[in-house]
Amino acid sequence: GAVVSQHPSRVICKSGTSVKIECRSLDFQATTMFWYRQFPKKSLMLMATSNEGSKATYEQGVEKDKFLINHASLTLSTLTVTSAHPEDSSFYICSARDRRDSSYNSPLHFGNGTRLTVT
Amino acid sequence: AQSVTQLDSQVPVFEEAPVELRCNYSSSVSVYLFWYVQYPNQGLQLLLKYLSGSTLVKGINGFEAEFNKSQTSFHLRKPSVHISDTAEYFCAVSAPEGYQKVTFGTGTKLQVIP
Q: What integer pLDDT is reported at residue A16 of this predicted model?
A: 96
Kindly determine whether residue B105 and residue A110, on different chains, have CB atoms separated by under 8 Å.
no
The distance from CA A69 to its chain's CA centroid, rounded to whole angstroms, is 8
- Contact residues, chain B, for A41 at CB < 8 Å: 9, 107
Q: How far apart are CA B63 and CA A61, in angstroms?
A: 36
Instruction: Name residue B107's amino acid.
Output: G
Low-confidence ranges of chain A (pLDDT < 50): none
- Give CA torsion, residues B41, A59, B101, A73, to 10 deg: -80
Residue of B nearest to A39 (CA): B106
Q: How far apart are CA B79 and CA B66, in angstroms?
A: 14
pLDDT tens string B52-73? 888 999 999 999 999 999 999 9
Kindly determine whether residue A111 and residue B43, on different chains, have CB atoms separated by under 8 Å.
yes
- Contact residues, chain B, for A43 at CB < 8 Å: 90, 104-107
Q: In which band, very low, low, confident or very high, does the pLDDT at B102 lie, cut at 50, 70 and 90?
A: confident
Residue B102 has its nearest CB partner, among A4, A6, A108, at A108
- Contact residues, chain B, for A44 at CB < 8 Å: 44, 90, 104
Kindly determine whether residue A105 and residue B95, on different chains, have CB atoms separated by under 8 Å.
no
Residue A110 has its nearest CB partner, among B32, B44, B100, at B44
| Residue B114 confidence (pLDDT) above 80 | yes
pLDDT tens string A18-35? 999 999 999 999 888 999
What is the SS3 string spanning A70-108? EEEECCEEEEEECCCCHHHCEEEEEEEECHHHCCCCCCC
Kindly determine whether residue B100 and residue A104, on different chains, have CB atoms separated by under 8 Å.
yes
Kindly determine whether residue A46 and residue B44, on different chains, have CB atoms separated by under 8 Å.
no
Q: How far apart are CA B20 and CA A55, in angstroms?
A: 41
Q: What integer pLDDT is reported at residue B97 of this predicted model?
A: 56
Residue B90 has its nearest CB partner, among A43, A103, A115, at A43
The answer for residues whose C-beta is within 8 angstroms of residue A5's C-beta and 6 or more apart is: A22, A23, A24, A25, A26, A111
Q: In which band, very low, low, confident or very high, does the pLDDT at B78 lie, cut at 50, 70 and 90?
A: very high
- Contact residues, chain A, for B99 at CB < 8 Å: 32, 49, 51, 57
- Contact residues, chain A, for B49 at CB < 8 Å: 105, 107
Q: How far apart are CA A4 and CA B31, in angstroms?
A: 25
Residue A32 has its nearest CB partner, among B44, B45, B100, at B100
Residue B41 has its nearest CB partner, among A41, A51, A113, at A113
